[in-house]
Amino acid sequence: MELLHSPQDYLFNLYVTNGSQAKRLWRQQIKEKWDHKCAYCDSTENLTIDHIVPQSKGGTNTAKNVVCCCHSCNHSKSHTPWEEWYSSQEFFSTDRYEKIKEWIKPDPPIDLFSYKPRRNFIVDK
């Protein structure tokens, strides 16, 4: 199953029947996308979900703003901007940094109004 944008999308698409199931499935999908490893330190212990831009600072509760994170990193990062916090950590990795940057990059815009003219093959008799 693909990772949807938010827990509400799981309800809307009828993958689940209530909000708590939707949130649980969404969080599970995020952890799977990160191979059940902390995005920052690569740990597999006490995994949680971290908002890259904290909700208290205007961050959204969407897939592009959350990563799989161990409790230790989540607690240590707190409300600090992630790049500032991560670059000062002893476990900083350029590869993981680039992976997070790629993760949070916005999706390309979709032109919902694009269409192709339809060809009508009218045969005169």
- Identify the pLDDT of residue 105: 92
Cβ neighbors of 93 (< 8 A, separation 6 or more) are 42
Looking at residue 52, its pLDDT comes to 94
- For residue 27, what pLDDT is reported? 94
- The DSSP H or E segment spanning 73 is helix 71-77
- What single letter denotes the amino acid at residue 39? A
Is residue 20 within 8 A of residue 46, CB to CB? The reply is no
Residue ranges of domains in the chain, CATH in brackets = 1-33 (no CATH), 37-94 (1.10.30.50)
pLDDT of residue 92: 96
Question: How much is the pLDDT for 33?
Answer: 95
SS3 label, residue 107: coil
Give the 3-state secondary structure of residue 83. helix
pTM given for the model? 0.78
**Contact yes or no for 52/66 (Cβ under 8 A):** yes
pLDDT at 123: 63
Measured over the CA atoms of residue 90, residue 30, residue 32 and residue 28, the dihedral's sign is positive
Helices (H), 13-70: 19-33
Q: Check residue 11 and give its pLDDT.
A: 79
Which residue in 48, 50, 44, 41 sits closest to 95, CA to CA?
41
Residue 39's pLDDT is what?
96
From first to last of the 125 residues of the chain, give the pLDDT tens digit. 788 888 888 777 777 888 899 899 999 999 999 999 999 999 999 999 999 999 989 999 999 999 999 999 999 999 999 999 999 999 999 999 999 999 999 888 777 666 666 666 666 65
The predicted structure's pLDDT at residue 108: 81
